[in-house]
Amino acid sequence: MKYYEINLSGRVQGVGFRYYIYRLANNYGIKGYVKNLPNGDVLIIAGCNDKETFDEFMQQVHSGPSFARVTNIQIKNMENVEEFTGFNIKY
């Protein structure tokens, strides 16, 4: 499974973004977690076996819930990551 670190900037906190990502990740079979960062960004650790599925997931991430506005997305490949069995919201 390939893992990615995704950092989202913009109006991404206080708009239901983590719950949106949680539902989306479970629909796409993505493993990992989502959490708010102290600087106002949202961090997603996402694991996926299929690049096409990951790309579809990311298109939906960029859209976000109705009150969100994503202004910047940074994606980094991760190596030597512990395997996740599901997708969670971290607090």
Q: Report the chain's mean pLDDT, rounded to a whole number.
A: 97
Q: Which of 7, 11, 23, 36 is catalytic?
A: 36
Q: Which of 11, 18, 27, 72 is catalytic?
A: 18
| pTM: predicted TM-score of the whole model, two decimal places | 0.96
What span, in angstroms and rounded, lies between the C-alpha atoms of 57 and 48? 10
Does residue 11 carry a catalytic annotation? Answer: no
Does residue 69 carry a catalytic annotation? Answer: no
Question: pLDDT class for 22, splitting at 50, 70, 90?
Answer: very high
Give the pLDDT confidence of 28-68 residue by residue, as tens digits: 999 999 999 999 999 999 999 999 999 999 999 999 999 99
Instruction: Tell me what pLDDT residue 26 has.
Output: 98
Instruction: Tell me what pLDDT residue 27 has.
Output: 98
Instruction: Tell me what pLDDT residue 82 has.
Output: 87
Domains of the chain: 2-81 (3.30.70.100)
